[in-house]
Amino acid sequence: MHLNRIDYLLERYYLQQLTEAEWPELQHLLLQDDPETLEQAFIRLMHKYDSDQETSVTLEDAQIERILAIDKVSGTEIMVDRTMQRKSALFQLRLRIVAAVACILIVCGIYWYQSQSAKPSFQQTFTADFQPGHDGGMLSMPNGKIIQLDNSSNKRLLSVSAGVSLQYDSTQAVYSLSQPGALTQNIYHTIETPNGRRYHLTLSDGTQIWLNAGSRLRFPIAFDGSLREVFLTGEAYFEVSKNPHRPFLVNIHNSDTKIEVLGTHFNVSSYPEDHGFITTLLEGKVRIFSRQAELILRPGDRAISHADGSIQLKNMAINNIDADWKDNYFSFSDDNIETVMLELARWYDIRVEYEGPKSTATFSGKIGKKLSFAQVMEIIGGTDIKYSLDTAATNRKVVIKTNY
């Protein structure tokens, strides 16, 4: 039954007949099935339309070449099993077509859907482009010293206080205790990831934190007392080291709401433009509390904390979409163009302006963050939106134009 279903959904996609409800189902199967199963399904589809040229749907050569060109540019994003390329020459032409179809879903976006189905007309008026962000950031110390983490291609070891050392490079920083209890007072460091940067940090207690673009974390180099406490602006993913005697507390900038955990995996988005923050729990249990409300989150729960202190709870059924950025993906779920572009603006370090009425389309899908801006926009295409770029170093601007 399962094999029949993947065959059915792939054929529906090939014939451009997938319904809105079938898109996420196909996405789920593509993510869950092993490469051998998917390869055999592609081959069965290939055989079927090779033997019946009357019903074969022709994909324009230019479109196929465009998709395969994206494939070549972004080899690290490819999830299609490479053994597909070693099939006999008899099927090479049809295999290229099937691979092109697979690329749309797997190579560039895994899956992508717009609520308004239209012929692709997303156009860029200039040939310029923006390259994706990368690891890096700035580390600030209480003595005023600032370390530009982007420039640290090799691992460096630094003694930051008695009994505390720091090993860092451009991708991650690790704090270590050589003499537990040696500190007589809390010493705080701050790591900031401006737009176009992200960073991985390991605190002295073993807690791991990933900082998204446009974020800042203030933290003690060693925890003293009965509480582990950090201060966040922006977005971070936490894997908190378990310690039942020392709760871990996340303070959100410009909010009286706090997140308390003992040991768990969760994501927090608290950008100023959010006017509040969103906490998504993937594993364990956390307590969110403010003067107005208190909630216990369980795996799959998403809590939306508003500026007035109220908290709205929604269950995501263990959907990791809010934390996909940590694994280098953009993920959207029925998001409008403003939400999509806000996420892209942080990663590509650009400003976004709009001309004309705002698009009413919504976007759902998953796209690799190693692609250039133009490649991502090519995948998002399918609505009547055009854009232009100003790549001057002083501007770095995208103008979104709509035709509604």
148 and 37 together in one domain: no
307 and 381 together in one domain: no
166 and 313 together in one domain: yes
Residue 55: count of CB within 10 angstroms of its CB: 9
Rounded (5°) CA angle 113-114-118: 115
259 and 312 together in one domain: yes
DSSP 118: -
At which of 322, 348, 374 does a domain end?
322
Residue 331 exposure: Cα atoms within 13 Å on the Cβ side:
12
189 and 285 together in one domain: yes
* Domain assignment present for 138: yes
Residue 69: count of CB within 10 angstroms of its CB: 12
* Domain assignment present for 115: no
At which of 292, 322, 352 does a domain end?
322
* Domain assignment present for 116: no
pLDDT tens for the chain, 404 residues long, are: 466 777 888 887 777 677 766 766 676 666 655 666 777 777 777 777 654 444 344 444 444 444 444 444 443 333 333 333 333 333 443 444 444 444 444 433 444 555 544 433 445 544 578 999 999 999 999 999 999 999 888 999 999 988 899 999 999 999 998 777 666 578 999 999 999 999 999 999 999 999 999 999 999 999 887 889 999 999 999 999 999 889 999 999 878 888 999 889 999 999 988 777 899 999 999 999 888 888 899 898 999 887 777 888 888 765 678 889 999 999 988 888 899 999 999 999 999 999 888 778 888 888 889 889 988 887 787 556 788 898 888 889 999 987 64
* Domain assignment present for 113: no
339 and 276 together in one domain: no
* Domain assignment present for 211: yes
The residue whose two tokens read 């029925």 is: 334
370 and 226 together in one domain: no
Q: Say whether 366 sits in a helix, a strand or coil.
A: strand
* Domain assignment present for 161: yes
Q: Which domain range does residue 340 map to?
A: 123-130+330-402
308 and 380 together in one domain: no
Name 209's bridge partners: 201, 238
Strands 385-390 and 351-355: unpaired
At which of 322, 345, 379 does a domain end?
322
* Domain assignment present for 53: yes
CA distance 117 to 157: 54
Tell me how many domains the chain contains: 3
CATH number of 236's domain? 2.60.120.1440
160 and 309 together in one domain: yes
138 and 281 together in one domain: yes
197 and 340 together in one domain: no
DSSP 155: -
- Cα 178 to Cα 16, 53, 139, 219, 400, distances in angstroms: 61, 71, 21, 18, 53
308 and 356 together in one domain: no
